[in-house]
Structure 1
């Protein structure tokens, strides 16, 4: 016997069968939604679902039942209540992952934020005198103490710090930069654009791979205001290269009455070789070499909140503070609280690796990571349809820090019998907390360098739920 499918509903009939919003609102199910979300929100969700239904009918679908419309509206309302910004477990192996918020804060910084977030704080009040005070005075004092600089200030990110320095010191004049340092970093942040936005004219010197001190000297003219040195951030030029030492540039700038400004990018306050990493010039090194102003990030190797930090000569810092842009770029009380607490940790360098998450992750030994991978594998044991394979890979500092440096790490490769690697990754990202790993062929890798010990149970539970 030949089965004949039922005739497709005519679009006109399907449109007629769609209920009115008011009829749907009169149902008991809608009443429960109104009690939870309010009349206006429920009515808007139902209108949106009816509009989607009309579009589906125009594409050849039939009319959904009222119960289906109400269920879809319920899901829409629930989704609208979920915060867009929510916790995630970083299992990518990229320590300073820009898309995941870069540096996780130390416990002390989190406590400092919580202490001032829910009420008032003496942001710009001197409690001793009762008069107005400077909002970043405590942070500036710590930066001077830790770097040896005369003065310091903080703004909302390092791009802002570079822009402020150029606007205050080079507007209407020229900024001299090596061609090998005309970088673009994430978000299309290009040094030539920043120089232009700061009101200065860019003067390029040298070649891509070689710039000599004489190139800088030849480019200096009556309109030159700044020699700008820029960290190459997320790339390296290797091979046949040359660049003048920072101290040489500082001597030239001083002799010609110019300011030497160095954008250190990530910027670190400690010698990273103590953590088994390659040497990276510290902020203190730049100050000691004679750089007039050093700018760097607060949320990268420093391990604090998003901030742009400037240290250097007192007279130049004063000019930046007095510039009209300063008010637009300043930090709020939460950022200042987290930054001050983070900087205080640097007063005890012997305890830093245990207290600052960025350095904890970067300095973790292969054996510690192997032990962590074994513990996670044990927690994943017994999940039906899941194969778990330990392995070795390479992690990265990320955030433009330590470009080209491969950091040995340990991973667990997951294969789910009923899911592709991409589908498993998508389910983990949709979980609570979200889990972000990295794909490698037909496997999903969980990199243990960026997973804290305390996150292992939640990570295992998320994998169990995603596979199920």
Structure 2
């Protein structure tokens, strides 16, 4: 019988593997070769299966490459897709490769054809316009709050911005949009009431001091019952009558309608309804890097681009590269996780449970509702499944390597695969089995 160890990949073949080669360039050939040799030795000694050699080499080299930072990779087993505490959107492979490619010298502000200075990030801006044809022009700044700040400062500094009282929101960690906007010299004038605001409320508040009409998507809460709000179309018509621009902050970064999120506003629809400018985040439902997007009227976008504040809020080449790759590349992790099939998730979860049960781990498969997170679609459940373990598993999983963040609910530790790529499942299984083997209160309730 042929010895399976003969199938262990050769050192030169592993170093030439595309996934490995990218990491070799980051950690150096000497360090990379040492990792390869150690991993091959583990396989020869039977401590590692042959088929795990290449994935383990990639995992160990990635850990080495990340060792220059205090940030630790985490497997997100919470079922919350855009998890703020975990850095919101995980970048897809195309975006990661783009960031690596852009780390050196690149033509971010240079036209190589004539050697002259060119518009910064022109490829990314073209990708945004291609993704949202309703936008005449686009601008990228460093986050969603910055996009709104720049728009309201350029259009409303020293003037009044009309906004519904029901849209004076706080978006998390005590951060309030009214404070942000007024910090740059604009004055917010509230119209209507908390639960009911009509276009006539805006009309009654118009004056020569009005700089813009502002509509803010509440994102992380809903007001229900006896309610009313002015539509984008109504406000756009009012703005055109009086020559006043309408700025709509959609928040989540959805660029086009998504049937799975029917109440979530998207940039294309809002612009089609008549908004002059739309501001949004790039690192939420779009699934890209942290960025703020401004889309809409070419004249107004140019006005924002010329404003002195734009320089302070601009993004670097790495963000531009990642955003362009997210827009033009394959589906990134966030929309893939949002649209993950409950049937597929159940199949994966039961397979995981079978492996754990076979190792003597007390486990149960339970239905769960995942969440979009990041303030997006707060009332939309994402049907899925989870492996339920004793609560005491939570803390050891967080402290492991790799760290695993699960969800604590009703005295149980729930491991949800919605946000766990299939290529990370083996690492997750090893982490779970490691906690089970280590004991340390994992089978008890613990404190998490």
Asked if TM exceeds 0.5, the reply is yes
Q: Which residue in 1 is equivalent to 2:412?
A: 443
Q: Does 1:432 align with 2:401?
A: yes
Q: Which residue in 2 is equivalent to 1:389?
A: 364
Report the 3-state secondary structure (helix = DSSP H, G, I; strand = E; otherwise coil) of the residue aligned with 2:302: helix
Deviation at 1:281, TM superposition (A): 2.6
Report the 3-state secondary structure (helix = DSSP H, G, I; strand = E; otherwise coil) of the residue aligned with 1:287: helix
Q: Does 1:94 align with 2:94?
A: no
User: Aligned runs of 1:324-339 on 2, under 5 Å?
Assistant: 324-339=308-323
Distance (whole Å) between structure 2 residues aligned to residue 286 and residue 270 of structure 1:
9
> Which one of 354, 358, 369 corresponds to residue 378 of structure 1?
354
- Greater shift, 283-292 or 143-152, is seen at 143-152
Q: Which residue in 2 is equivalent to 1:151?
A: 137
> Which one of 327, 330, 338 corresponds to residue 362 of structure 1?
338
1:98-132, CA deviations, whole angstroms, 9 ceiling, x for partnerless residues? 10111111211111111122x21112111111111
User: Aligned runs of 1:149-298 on 2, under 5 Å?
Assistant: 149-273=135-259, 276-298=260-282
Deviation at 1:82, TM superposition (A): 7.8
Q: Does 1:459 align with 2:428?
A: yes
Report the 3-state secondary structure (helix = DSSP H, G, I; strand = E; otherwise coil) of the residue aligned with 2:237: helix
1:348-382, CA deviations, whole angstroms, 9 ceiling, x for partnerless residues? xxxx6xx3211111111111010110221133234
Call closer, same or farther: CA 1:277–1:161 in 2, change over 3 Å: closer
Distance (whole Å) between structure 2 residues aligned to residue 359 and residue 390 of structure 1:
25
- Greater shift, 209-218 or 187-196, is seen at 187-196
TM-score by length of 2: 0.80
Report the 3-state secondary structure (helix = DSSP H, G, I; strand = E; otherwise coil) of the residue aligned with 2:418: helix
**Paired residues, what number?**
370
Q: Which residue in 2 is equivalent to 1:49?
A: none
Distance (whole Å) between structure 1 residues aligned to residue 102 and residue 135 of structure 2:
29
Greater C-alpha radius of gyration = 1
1:56-78, CA deviations, whole angstroms, 9 ceiling, x for partnerless residues? xxxxxxxxxxxxxxxxxxxxxxx
Which structure 2 segments of 5+ residues have no match?
Answer: 1-66, 439-448
Distance (whole Å) between structure 2 residues aligned to residue 426 and residue 277 of structure 1:
33
Distance (whole Å) between structure 1 residues aligned to residue 410 and residue 272 of structure 2:
48
Distance (whole Å) between structure 2 residues aligned to residue 441 and residue 240 of structure 1:
34
Q: Which residue in 1 is equivalent to 2:290?
A: 306
1:301-341, CA deviations, whole angstroms, 9 ceiling, x for partnerless residues? 11111100001111111111111111111111111100011
Deviation at 1:279, TM superposition (A): 4.5
Distance (whole Å) between structure 1 residues aligned to residue 347 and residue 256 of structure 2:
27
> Which one of 48, 69, 89 corresponds to residue 103 of structure 1?
89
Report the 3-state secondary structure (helix = DSSP H, G, I; strand = E; otherwise coil) of the residue aligned with 1:381: helix
1:263-312, CA deviations, whole angstroms, 9 ceiling, x for partnerless residues? 00002123211xx4434332111111111110001011111111000011
Distance (whole Å) between structure 1 residues aligned to residue 68 and residue 347 of structure 2:
35
1:40-69, CA deviations, whole angstroms, 9 ceiling, x for partnerless residues? xxxxxxxxxxxxxxxxxxxxxxxxxxxxxx
Do the aligned partners of 2:264 and 2:376 also contact (CA within 8 Å) in 1?
no
> Which one of 378, 381, 384 corresponds to residue 403 of structure 1?
378
Report the 3-state secondary structure (helix = DSSP H, G, I; strand = E; otherwise coil) of the residue aligned with 2:111: coil
After TM superposition, the runs of 4+ consecutive aligned structure 1 residues lying more than 6 A away are none
> Which one of 98, 114, 119 corresponds to residue 112 of structure 1?
98
Do the aligned partners of 2:248 and 2:275 also contact (CA within 8 Å) in 1?
yes
TM-score by length of 1: 0.77
Do the aligned partners of 1:295 and 1:311 also contact (CA within 8 Å) in 2?
yes
Report the 3-state secondary structure (helix = DSSP H, G, I; strand = E; otherwise coil) of the residue aligned with 1:209: coil
Distance (whole Å) between structure 2 residues aligned to residue 393 and residue 173 of structure 1:
48
Deviation at 1:182, TM superposition (A): 0.6
Deviation at 1:395, TM superposition (A): 0.8
Report the 3-state secondary structure (helix = DSSP H, G, I; strand = E; otherwise coil) of the residue aligned with 1:264: strand
Distance (whole Å) between structure 1 residues aligned to residue 126 and residue 409 of structure 2:
47
1:404-437, CA deviations, whole angstroms, 9 ceiling, x for partnerless residues? 111211010012xxxxx2x421211111111000
Distance (whole Å) between structure 2 residues aligned to residue 442 and residue 102 of structure 1:
26
Report the 3-state secondary structure (helix = DSSP H, G, I; strand = E; otherwise coil) of the residue aligned with 2:110: coil
